[in-house]
Amino acid sequence: MFRLESDTALLESFRPKDRQAVELPPGLTFPTFVRHYLAWPHPAGGRVFLVFSTQGGVPTGITFETNGSAGAPVAMCDWCHQSAAGTGVGLLTARVTGTKTAGVHVCTDLSCKQKVEDECDRAGRSAVPELNALVERIGRFASEVLGIDLSGANR
């Protein structure tokens, strides 16, 4: 869990090159406490935003382009390992540099948290270990693929 004190703190969780594209989620009030991660779509579509924090890290934001991904007939999310039909799972891309992008096949609305919680509720087990593993997978993508320093340095 982490706390965002203001809209400025939320925007500063994103890399400088991504901040211009961020549109804050409607109705979000500050300060706000976030369990695991916060995700929301751009009102006009085409982008989804994600803010998360790994254990010992600072809030980290990623701007994803949806690229109008049509999705496979049935695909599995790389983060929550849930399957979805149609556009439920698709390729989301984020900028690594000005000319290089990287992608990941995930739930296109970034609803992984709800899917994990629902599955665990149906199975009668705690969702906490799986949600922690989910945030770790998100963190690995951010650090290893996008090169984001999760400690907040150089942001």
What are 105-152's pLDDT values in tens digits?
999 999 999 999 999 999 999 999 999 999 999 999 999 999 999 998
What are 4-42's pLDDT values in tens digits?
999 999 999 999 999 999 999 989 999 999 999 999 999
**C-alpha closest to that of 91 among 80, 81, 76:** 76
Which amino acid would we find at residue 13? S
Length of the chain: 155
Q: How far apart are CA 3 and CA 68, in angstroms?
A: 32
The token duo for 63 is 């701007």
The residue among 87 and 52 whose pLDDT is bigger is: 52
Mean of pLDDT values over 48-75: 85
Mean of pLDDT values over 79-99: 89
Sheet holding 89-95, edge to edge: 37-41, 47-52, 60-65, 89-95, 101-107
What are 62-83's pLDDT values in tens digits?
999 987 655 556 789 999 999 8
Model pLDDT, residue 80:
95
Model pLDDT, residue 154:
67
% helix, strand, coil for the chain, step of 5: 30, 30, 45
Model pLDDT, residue 72:
58
Residue 17's region, left for phi above 0, alpha for psi from -120 to 50, else beta, is alpha
- For the whole model, what pTM was predicted? 0.88
Q: Is the pLDDT of residue 101 over 60?
A: yes
The token duo for 52 is 């998360």
Residue 15 DSSP symbol: -
Q: What are phi and psi of 111, to 5 degrees?
A: -90, 25
87 contacts 71 by C-beta, under 8 angstroms:
yes
